[in-house]
Chains A and B, each alone.
Chain A
Amino acid sequence: MSAGQTARSTRTASEARALAAERLIGQLLIGVTYVSVGLLAIGVVLMVADSISPTSGGPPLDLSTLGAQLVALEPAAFLWLGMLAVVAAPIGRVIVAAVAYARESDWLMLAISIGILVVITIGVISSVTLTA
């Protein structure tokens, strides 16, 4: 096999892996979206069962009590978990992409992926600090 053929076959294998990663990321997004819709639907059904009006003002997010509230079938807990799943879908997509880029030794795209996650983390930390 000539050097050119070797380079071409390496590139084709690399492209195939990139396409497979895109497919995986796509499936992840769809899957998590449906999970989040399911959680929100449970929350809304529980809201109706408990006769909670949407305009009564929902409780703020409290991660420390979320587990216990879920066990107690609190509507807000399912709604918050659904919201977190909604937000987690695109963030999970970036994480999966970062892993794929690391495997491909695509350092620039890996740096960009990490940069996105860093920006989101800064937003969360600064908001928590400000509200505290």
Chain B
Amino acid sequence: MVVGLLMLVGGVAAGAFGSLLGLGGGVLIVPLLTLGFGLPLREAVGVSLICVIMTSSAAAGVYLERHVANLRLGMTLELFTATGALIGGSVAFLLDERLLALLFAVLLLYVALTMARAGTPEPVLDPDEVDDSPAEPTPEASPTASAPPSDPPTLLDGLSGPGYRVRNLGRGVVVATGAGVASALLGIGGGIIKVPLMNIAMGVPLRVATATSNMMIGITAAASALIYAIHGGLDVYVAGPTAIGVFIGATAGSRFGHRVELRYLRLLFVVVMVYTAIEMLLRVVA
């Protein structure tokens, strides 16, 4: 019972920190369960996938209700993230756990470096603070933002939103597939890949990119979570308390995030992530 309570509390902490720092919970839940509770990495990834679906569904629901997320673009990319997740989920059961741990350590170091250099890798977007009005266009988001839609309308016109025009769909497809593979292998939402992809490479305003990425996490993680569940890589006794904790933490984090001084929290987090990455690497060597 004490272990269950600790998992719940750990989940709350992971959800809250993840929400405050704009990370999906996955990057925190996997180390928590592997290093903190001795769970095999693959089972931790399975639990993490459930947690990221739950937090993303609640937030994505609000974004869609308020028309912030670009549903058409998100679904188009989802076709490829889901394909990547199918590949990653299948490959995950063939790979040595030490290789997965190595990949996770590299991911942690990358996130820590990104955070240390440029603040949060994925900006916090509190669903409750989103306007009811459709997403505000960001003119500078795309050099073709003010370009009129072509006649007859192309696929890109159909995927574009008010005030911005989507570009580089081919690159988007390739990177989205990679994000799906990473999500399934490491149990992460993949926002750290998808948000920069949509914002920088595809010309989608940051706010819309964040909301759309959040929406996409659900289907990407669902594709691989089912594979994990069927392969026996999902322990419900661990997933139950952890997922509830993450949901509570993420909800609290998004509601009270504006009251927290993020600078020191971020610094603390960089240190924790580097330490966790080293611990993971030591496991690989051991």
Interface residues of B in 35-72 (CB under 8 A from A): 37-38, 50, 53-54, 56-58, 60-67, 71-72
Return the chain A residue nearest B158 by Cβ. Answer: A108
Q: Closest approach, in angstroms, between the C-beta of A81 and any C-beta of chain B? A: 10
Helix, strand, loop or mixed for chain B's interface? helix
Q: Is the CB of B79 within 8 A of A115?
A: yes
Once A115-B79, A119-B83, A123-B226 are accepted as A-B contacts, the answer to whether A82 and B240 lie under 8 Å apart by CB is yes
Q: Is the CB of B222 within 8 A of A57?
A: no
Return the chain A residue nearest B65 by Cβ. Answer: A26
Helix, strand, loop or mixed for chain A's interface? helix
Q: Give the size range of B's interface with the partner.
A: 35 or more
Question: A51: CB under 8 A from chain B?
Answer: yes
Expressed in whole angstroms, the Cα–Cα distance for A36 and B58 within the complex equals 11
Partner-binding segment picked from B101-109, B227-235, B270-278: B227-235
Once A29-B64, A122-B86, A127-B226 are accepted as A-B contacts, the answer to whether A93 and B219 lie under 8 Å apart by CB is yes
Question: B114: CB under 8 A from chain A?
Answer: no
Interface residues of A in 108-132 (CB under 8 A from B): 108-109, 112-113, 115-116, 119-120, 122-124, 126-128, 130-131
Q: Give the size range of A's interface with the partner.
A: 35 or more
Q: Is the CB of A86 within 8 A of B237?
A: no
Expressed in whole angstroms, the Cα–Cα distance for A122 and B223 within the complex equals 10
Return the chain A residue nearest B245 by Cβ. Answer: A44
- A residues apposed to B, CB below 8 Å: 19, 22-23, 25-34, 36-37, 40-41, 43-44, 47-48, 51-61, 75-76, 79-80, 82-83, 86-87, 89-91, 93-94, 97, 108-109, 112-113, 115-116, 119-120, 122-124, 126-128, 130-131
Q: 7 shortest A-B CB distances, which residue pairs?
A: A90-B218, A26-B65, A29-B61, A26-B64, A30-B61, A58-B237, A79-B236
Could you list some 30 contacts between A and B, CB below 8 A? A19-B134, A23-B64, A26-B65, A27-B65, A29-B57, A29-B58, A29-B61, A34-B58, A44-B240, A44-B244, A47-B237, A48-B1, A52-B237, A57-B235, A57-B237, A60-B232, A75-B240, A76-B236, A83-B229, A90-B60, A90-B219, A90-B221, A93-B218, A97-B75, A109-B75, A120-B226, A123-B85, A123-B226, A124-B227, A127-B89
- B residues apposed to A, CB below 8 Å: 1, 3-4, 7-8, 37-38, 50, 53-54, 56-58, 60-67, 71-72, 75-76, 78-79, 82-83, 85-86, 89-90, 134, 155, 158, 218-219, 221-227, 229-232, 234-241, 243-244, 247
